[in-house]
Amino acid sequence: MKLYNTLTKKKEEFKPLEEGKVRMYVCGPTVYNYIHIGNARPMIMFDTVRRYFEYKGYQVNYVSNFTDVDDKIIKKAVEEGVPTTEITKRYIDAVKEDMKNLNVKPATTHPLATQEIDGMIEMIQTLIEKGHAYEKNGTVYFRTRSFDGYGKLSKKNIDDLEAGARIAVSEEKEDPMDFVLWKPKKEGEPYWESPWSEGRPGWHIECSVMSKKYLGDQIDIHAGGEDLIFPHHENEIAQSEAANGKGFAKYWLHNGFLNIDNKKMSKSLGNFFTVREVGAEYPYEVLRFFMLNVHYRSPINFSRELMESAKNALERIKNAVSNLAFLLENAPERALTAEETEFYKTILEKKEKFEAAMDDDFNTADAVAAIFEMVKAANTSLTADSSKQVIADTKNWIVTLSNVLGVDVDTKEELLDNDIEKLIQDRQDARKNRDFKKADEIRDLLLEKGIILEDTREGVKWKRA
């Protein structure tokens, strides 16, 4: 399995630190607003990476934080005249709901920056002790030049960076490239006690500390959007490696940006969409499927046209699956014919093609193409006379591989309205015959499928949970 490592600028064979296990950290959103469809890209793409590792039999420890202390959060709280915690709770709940809708699995741990302040103070103290950080008037800075490898991720040279940096007259830093680890509070801001001042941590230290706490000093994969390469991830490497005296992440994965109609998404251009806005127009699974059609490192362009075509493409897979489910009902149980054995080989080839695509730096676009080839083969070759085994296995592969991408194409499990009405009638009949046990069983069965019954004076009403 190969993945492209931003650190080495090469595709490398994946070798985990520990056999059969993956330790993975993905920088999460700052929670002051509903997430936009750009933020959804790393969530969906790295969730797909996780799912593929799991499909391959790895045990994945997946950590993704919420940055719940930040200038933008404070600004929003002041605007609304509410405590910052009210803002962060509201938007963390909203992100979790969006993730669920996008079929993004919850992380193994979702740490909150505000709950990890002790660990941050501890790491900052270590950095000061080791000479990698210093305090001035209550602010603590990282001494960037004290870390030899600075610039190794972003391929920037510290002298070039410094030449481009502006030095403010009142600057208390020793060097313009030094960055903040701890800063004193301003009036009315949330703060924590520390040896240096009542204040709060800088953004970069959060991730170094949360990654260390939940995954250990060294991890396999650190991921996020490409805008985070510099300075955020560069600074994380400097902090973690200087404090722990060990290499930090082995592989750095970065997703490309999402643009709208080939333009940068921005509020001022009026082409800014939240996940919810798009979710009101299209099923959420279409947004996920749309993202999968482009390799995660390439830029992706969002447009209604492309969403429409993603919607139709997804529909085609679902139709094929429901057709196979229909064929399955009366399919003959018998040994495979010679043609069926050949067909079986074709299906397995497509499955291998899917895996080869994913093994090649998670090429989801080619993986989707392999699923389509399977669908096409099924549509042209399988009929009501095909053997039950061949139909069942083909359906199973299409559903399983789609699930690896986080897309549920098996609609058979869903009860159709007609089936529900029929079961409700059966329950009424059972009640009339005073067979309350059976009536309760039907009610429970429906509940299991997410159907809630309500007995009203006008009769039984039902709704989906």
Closest to Zn ion by CB, 42 vs 199, is 42
39 binds ligand AMP (CB under 6 A): yes
Binding letters toward ligand AMP, positions 215-244, x by CB under 6 A: ---------xx-xx----------------
Closest to ligand AMP by CB, 132 vs 222, is 222
From the list ligand AMP, Zn ion, none, which binds 207 (C-beta under 5 to 8 Å, kind-based)?
A: Zn ion
The count of other CB atoms within 10 Å of the CB of residue 165 is 12
CA 113/CA 111 separation, integer angstroms = 6
Closest to Zn ion by CB, 27 vs 60, is 27
211 binds ligand AMP (CB under 6 A): no
Does the CA dihedral 126-130-133-139 come out positive or negative? positive
The closest of 223, 222, 218, 224 to 243, measured between CA atoms, is: 218
From the list ligand AMP, Zn ion, none, which binds 231 (C-beta under 5 to 8 Å, kind-based)?
A: none
The helix (run of H) or strand (run of E) holding residue 423 is helix 417-432
Residue 403 phi, psi dihedral angles, 5° rounding: -65, -35
Pick the binder of Zn ion from 7, 24, 27, 215 (CB under 5 A). 27
Pick the binder of Zn ion from 207, 215, 374, 446 (CB under 5 A). 207
Residue 204 CB contacts under 8 Å (≥ 6 apart), including other chains: 179, 181, 231, 232, 235, 236, 239
Interior angle at CA 169, CA 167 and CA 175, nearest 5:
40
The helix (run of H) or strand (run of E) holding residue 2 is strand 2-5
38 binds ligand AMP (CB under 6 A): yes
CA distances from 374 to 45, 52, 359, 394 (A): 23, 19, 19, 8
Closest to ligand AMP by CB, 39 vs 218, is 39
Any idea what DSSP says for residue 169?
T
Q: From the CB of 164, what's the least distance to Zn ion, in Å? A: 23
Closest to Zn ion by CB, 27 vs 291, is 27
Closest to ligand AMP by CB, 294 vs 317, is 294
- The stretch among 25-33, 135-143, 153-161, 360-368 that binds ligand AMP (CB under 6 A) is 25-33
From the list Zn ion, ligand AMP, none, which binds 42 (C-beta under 5 to 8 Å, kind-based)?
A: ligand AMP
265 binds ligand AMP (CB under 6 A): yes
Q: How many residues bind ligand AMP (CB under 6 A)?
A: 15
Closest to ligand AMP by CB, 124 vs 260, is 260
398 binds Zn ion (CB under 5 A): no
Furthest CA-CA distance within the chain? 90
From the list Zn ion, ligand AMP, none, which binds 225 (C-beta under 5 to 8 Å, kind-based)?
A: ligand AMP
Q: Note whether 127 and 105 are within 8 A (CB).
A: no
Closest to ligand AMP by CB, 255 vs 363, is 255
Radius of gyration of the CA atoms of the chain, in A = 27
Q: How many residues does the chain have?
A: 465
CA 215/CA 246 separation, integer angstroms = 14
Binding letters toward ligand AMP, positions 148-177, x by CB under 6 A: ------------------------------
DSSP per residue over 227-265, as a string?
A: GGIIIIIHHHHHHHHHHHSS--EEEEEEEPPEEETTEE-
Pick the binder of ligand AMP from 3, 29, 53, 63 (CB under 6 A). 29
Binding letters toward ligand AMP, positions 40-79, x by CB under 6 A: -xx-------------------------------------
45 binds Zn ion (CB under 5 A): no
Pick the binder of ligand AMP from 5, 6, 30, 139 (CB under 6 A). 30
Closest to ligand AMP by CB, 209 vs 409, is 209
Pick the binder of ligand AMP from 3, 22, 27, 177 (CB under 6 A). 27
CA 138/CA 108 separation, integer angstroms = 35
Hey, is 205 helix, strand or coil? helix
Residue 381 CB contacts under 8 Å (≥ 6 apart), including other chains: 339, 343
Closest to ligand AMP by CB, 49 vs 375, is 49
99 binds Zn ion (CB under 5 A): no
Q: From the CB of 65, what's the least distance to Zn ion, in Å? A: 7
Q: Note whether 273 and 260 are within 8 A (CB).
A: yes
Q: Note whether 391 and 324 are within 8 A (CB).
A: yes
Does the CA dihedral 219-221-223-229 come out positive or negative? positive
Closest to ligand AMP by CB, 64 vs 194, is 64
Q: From the CB of 451, what's the least distance to ligand AMP, in Å? A: 37
Pick the binder of ligand AMP from 55, 257, 272, 372 (CB under 6 A). 257
Q: Note whether 427 and 415 are within 8 A (CB).
A: no
Positions touching Zn ion (CB under 5 A) are: 27, 207
Q: Which residues bind ligand AMP (CB under 6 A)?
A: 27, 29-30, 38-39, 41-42, 224-225, 227-228, 255, 257-258, 265
